[in-house]
Structure formats: C-alpha cells, structure tokens
Structure 1
Amino acid sequence: MKKIFLIAFFLVGAFVAQAQELKWHTDVKEAIAISNKENKPMLLFFTGSDWCGWCIRLQNEVLKTAEFSKWASQNVVLVELDYPRRTPQTPELKNQNNELQQAFGIQGFPTIYFTSAESKDGKVNFKGLGHTGYVAGGPTAWLAVAEGIVHPKKS
C-alpha cells in the first residue's frame, strides 16, 4: 500500500512541476528591470517559432523540460524574441525584436544570448556573457553549455 501511495505521490508531483509554466518576457525593458532587480542575467531566445525547425526542436528537447525549468527559474530571466512568418505581431514588438537582432548581430535561428543590461539616459547598454544555439544531447548537454556561460569557472 505504501508503494502505491509513493508512486501516486511522485506522479502527481511530476504533473504539478510540469504545470508550472516559466515566464517568457517579450518586453525587453521589463525584462531588464527584473534582471537588475533579481541580479540575474537575461537569456535572450532569438527564434522563428512558427517556421524554424531547429527552434522548435530546441523548444521540445530542452526549453519545455522540467530540468530546464528548474535551472532557468534559479539562474536567468527569460526573454523570447520571435520572428514568426504566420503569427501576427504588433509593430512595436517587431521593431524591438529587429533592433535587438541587429544589435546582437543575429544571423540565424535559434540563437540564445546570455546578457546583462543597464539603462542610462534612456539608452540600454548590454554586457554579453556568451551565446549558444541548439546543442544535441537534450537538456543535460544544453544546460552544461549554458551553465558554463552563466557561471564560468574562475581559473
């Protein structure tokens, strides 16, 4: 009887953990304020959500997993910068995303930049920590790369 109870408890716990959705910001100014307040870098996810196969694969294999969710909630502020072909966006959102694509020199998707930022005199200054994209091997392999960027070992 105890085994059945424990199994049921863990299954319910797994479903509850998956139900806790991460907050992906689309307003960079809001994300910068949160990043500075929480003293966490931002993870900027440059994606073509409705057409980019590698972006969709990264989402499914890493960004929608419990491992990523746990790591992200403790380490970064999430920002999605989307460049869809079929999904409508406001002109303001398109302009913001295009400006950031140019500022970071994004050539392809998916690209993930880790950065901190500060606003001075109405201008935003980004301090890039590093970047990555799709990494084969699921969440463990991807998180190893991300962890090396966000918390580099001091030599």
Structure 2
Amino acid sequence: MTRKLLILLFFLVTFLAKSQSLEWKTDMVDAITLSNEERKPLLILFTAANAPENLQNEVFKTLDFEKWSRRNVILVKLDLSDTGISSEVREQNIKLKNAFGVAGLPEVCYAKGSIGNGKTAFSLLGRLPYSSNGVKAFITDSNLILNPE
C-alpha cells in the first residue's frame, strides 16, 4: 500500500513540475531567431521586480496557458529591473517598451521581429495589459490579436 502511494505521489509531483515548465527567453536575438524558425509571433512580457504578480499567477502559471503558448507563441520575458543584464541590454529593453507604448507593468505585447544588416526591427501586433478575467479571457483576447480576421 505504501509503495503504491509513493509511486502515485512520484507521478503527481513529476506531472505538476512538468506542467509549470514554460520556457521564457530573455535574449531578444535568440527569441527572434526561434520565432522566425517556428513561424510564431513573440509574446513579450514587460515586467519588473515590483510589478504585481496577478498576471503570472492567474494566467502564466496555468496549464491552459502552457498548452496554448506552446502552440502559438515564443515567450519572451524582459524584466526591466534585472540587475544581471548589461546596461546596454536594459536600455534596449526600455526603448522597446517605450516604442510599443507600454505604460504599466506587467504588460504583454505581441510582435514579429526580424534581424537584418545588424539591425533589429519589430512589427507590433497588439498589446494586452493585465485584466483580472482569467486565463480563458486572456487566451481569447490573445487570439483576437494574433488572428484578426
């Protein structure tokens, strides 16, 4: 009996750990390269250490979002308060935030990117600020941005 319980517990822990394993890119060049290879737009999360975690908890940490994001987007997290990045990268991230018109944090932008002749260019598809409507509404709103038919 104990052995069966331990086996069940092992599988549950493994499943839960796997279900929360989103891969967020932090390097924009790598993200654009992957985006173009997989032909998926970028979901860019602009955030900072002092930003509310509601979006993380209510949307990004759900199984529904994990399934949707794996099929539809390349995830990019730009933490504007990250002290582990160079001042040049931080400045580029802030310029990108301003260019996309992001006012409050956290906020999500959908974009396509390209790199040519050493220059990076973006095409903003849409922005999605935090809303307390939950993951299903977030996915619906995201699909409207990504598929504006």
Shorter chain as denominator, the TM-score bin is 0.7 to 0.9
1:90 to 67, 85, 91: 85
Counterpart amino acid of 1:88? T
Counterpart amino acid of 1:61? E
What are the Cα deviations for residues 95-128 of structure 1, in whole angstroms up to 9, with x where unaligned? 3312312322322112111011111211112111
Counterpart amino acid of 1:40? K
Q: In structure 1, what is the Cα distance between the partners aligned to 2:64 and 2:130?
A: 16
- Alignment correspondent of 1:138: 134
Q: In structure 2, what is the Cα distance between the partners aligned to 1:34 and 1:106?
A: 24
The 5 Å alignment of 1:74-85 reads: 74-84=71-81
- Alignment correspondent of 1:15: 16
Q: In structure 2, what is the Cα distance between the partners aligned to 1:47 and 1:38?
A: 25
The 5 Å alignment of 1:110-129 reads: 110-129=106-125
What TM-score comes out, normalization by structure 1 length?
A: 0.81
Q: In structure 2, what is the Cα distance between the partners aligned to 1:44 and 1:70?
A: 17
The answer to whether the aligner puts 1:103 opposite 2:99 as a matched pair is yes
What TM-score comes out, normalization by structure 2 length?
A: 0.84
Displacement, 1:94? 1.5
The answer to whether the aligner puts 1:65 opposite 2:66 as a matched pair is no
For this pair of structures, how many residues does the alignment match? 141
What are the Cα deviations for residues 25-56 of structure 1, in whole angstroms up to 9, with x where unaligned? 010011000000000000010112x2112xx1
Unaligned runs of 5+ in 2: 1-7
The 5 Å alignment of 1:28-39 reads: 28-39=28-39
Displacement, 1:83? 1.8
Query: CA contact under 8 A between 1:40 and 1:76: conserved in structure 2?
Result: yes
RMSD between superposed Cα atoms in Å: 2.2
Query: CA contact under 8 A between 1:17 and 1:66: conserved in structure 2?
Result: no
